[in-house]
A and B are shown apart, each in its own frame.
Chain A
């Protein structure tokens, strides 16, 4: 098992202290609420799509450092990207967090988001890292509320090697 300390790298702590794109867009075209009832993490995501491209994105909420840093880095990464590019990242991030993506063996687009790879060794924290991505997916699909515990959510992924 990786040293959990490796998860709390400076880049994650920095995004936790100074989250990017923190707030609410006044005239969002898409929005969603993300909620993890197990730990009380909650975040609100607003987004403006210009055609197929993410023109603006913001989040706010109450959560642990892993969730907040994940949301901050996610918004910074997907801003300016197309919906298809963002959807690819959502899938890759989820696969990395649940240990299904071999970062060395397969090409991917995660870049510095790989700082979250260590979460795969902390099953109870996987959902913290995934929640923002979950919520982004819900926002694209105009699902107003996302939950890590919803059965019919297409993002619902079993933890570990299911």
Chain B
């Protein structure tokens, strides 16, 4: 598409030039089955811009060695790049100090780290953990494992028909046995943006720490952990234009210092004898073994890329897409949107009357439209809405309104096949 010079100038002036951004993502040029790829499965995993791909290649071709111990130059370079990535992540979420950022393999490992590091040390028999109906299985199962081991129990915050947490119910769940709160920032199944800042403040008024699962928030909005005042915050790199196998757990330094190590091994120790091991300081205490160095550096490049565009601009564009999609789907007879919270991020779950979501997904795929179908690892949400599964379109900043229109046309075609 060639724009006239004046149009081009206007576009640049408008600060968000989606076509220019799309040029950074080589995968968006794919034509599966001869149809242009319309990638609307960003809540599952986002695509990677050339800048991040180049950074990984640069590391692999000129900077790789193991980190932290060797005296040779290459190891010093790799160590400094790895630690620079940590600084970038700390800035990205406005952490006070870079040692508050622990590299993990992703959100799931981050939450497991919180469970082992905090839960197994500080939560005991009869204690209570508050979670919400909206949680992803990764913020349910680790806590169930802890409850089974310790004899603690889980209390669940219910949601209304729009998919919004009932905050009065949340507050009434607190009692003298409440030890921990786990809540997702943005629902991966429904798109609800939860009032986590308020929930954190309330928990703190009762002396209870809060873990926020930010897997679906960090890619789509500015996250400021100091403003939220969360105790722990987890997210994954691969939903953020970074590589798979990398994510972080942010934690307040004082809390991380009180937590016990999750995995034992090299790098997480200061000294080892068979009689006694002294653990390393944070964040290294939680990073046993050789970490995914390249992936961490790639994630650093990804947050540079996103910051270059600006998280506020990203959020604004994605909300435009969501509004456009919501308006279109709301007008379609036989289509029902699941999750109609007042405040949503760019996730749109829907049902097509008389058609199972899996059939919707398979048929949309033939038009090149990639969406997710299933329970989205959030079976309690599906049970709450009495659905076996939903179809879910999730948008990223590189999607366009034309792609939303392709989704809408695809749904019409599904309806005609099943009419």
Residues of A within 8 A of B (CB): 1, 3-5, 7-8, 13, 16, 38-42, 62-66, 122, 124-125, 128
Contacts and interface: CB of A to CB of B under 8 A. Distances in A.
A125 to B, nearest CB: 6
Contact of B366 (A5, A13, A40, A66): A5
Contact of B375 (A40, A63, A64): A40
A141 to B, nearest CB: 26
A76 to B, nearest CB: 21
B388 A41 contact: yes
Interface in B281-324: none
B417 A63 contact: no
B418 interface: yes
B30 to A, nearest CB: 14
A125 B388 contact: no
B109 to A, nearest CB: 23
B169 interface: no
Interface string B359-396: 10011011000000111000000100000110000000
Interface of B: 33, 355-359, 362-363, 365-366, 373-375, 382, 388-389, 417-418
B362 A39 contact: no
B374 A38 contact: yes
B375 to A, nearest CB: 7
A64 B355 CA distance: 7
A66 B418 CA distance: 12
Top 8 A-B pairs, shortest CB-CB distance: A40-B388, A64-B356, A64-B358, A4-B366, A65-B359, A64-B359, A40-B389, A5-B366
Contacts of B418: 13, 16, 65
Most buried by A among B355, B356, B375, B418: B356
Contacts of B365: 4
Contacts of A62: 388
Given A63-B356, A64-B356, A13 B417 contact: yes
Contacts of B375: 39-40
Given A3-B366, A4-B363, A62-B388, A39 B355 contact: no
Contacts of A38: 374
Contact of B417 (A1, A8, A40): A8
Contacts of B417: 5, 8, 13
Contacts of A41: 388
Given A63-B356, A64-B357, 14 more contacts: A4-B363, A4-B366, A5-B363, A8-B362, A8-B363, A13-B418, A39-B374, A40-B382, A42-B388, A65-B355, A65-B418, A66-B358, A124-B358, A128-B358
Most buried by B among A1, A5, A16, A39: A39
A13 B362 CA distance: 14
B223 to A, nearest CB: 32
A140 to B, nearest CB: 27
Nearest to A62: B388
Contacts of B389: 39-40
26 contacts: A3-B33, A4-B362, A4-B363, A4-B365, A5-B366, A5-B417, A7-B362, A8-B362, A8-B363, A8-B417, A13-B417, A13-B418, A39-B358, A39-B373, A39-B374, A39-B375, A39-B389, A40-B374, A40-B388, A41-B388, A62-B388, A63-B356, A64-B356, A65-B356, A65-B418, A125-B358
A8 B365 CA distance: 13
A56 to B, nearest CB: 27
Contacts of B382: 40
Contacts of A8: 359, 362-363, 417
A124 B358 CA distance: 9
A85 to B, nearest CB: 30
A66 to B, nearest CB: 7
A1 B358 contact: no
B352 to A, nearest CB: 11
B287 to A, nearest CB: 33
B389 to A, nearest CB: 5
A117 to B, nearest CB: 15
B207 to A, nearest CB: 39
Nearest to A125: B362
A4 B358 CA distance: 13
Contacts of B33: 1, 3
B359 A66 contact: yes
A41 B356 CA distance: 10
Nearest to B414: A8
Contacts of A125: 358, 362
A129 to B, nearest CB: 11
Nearest to B355: A65
A137 B406 CA distance: 42
Nearest to A122: B362
Nearest to A3: B366
A147 to B, nearest CB: 15
Most buried by A among B358, B373, B382: B358
A3 B356 CA distance: 20
A39 B388 contact: yes
Contacts of B358: 39, 64, 66, 124-125, 128
A62 B355 CA distance: 11
Contacts of B355: 65
A13 B419 CA distance: 9
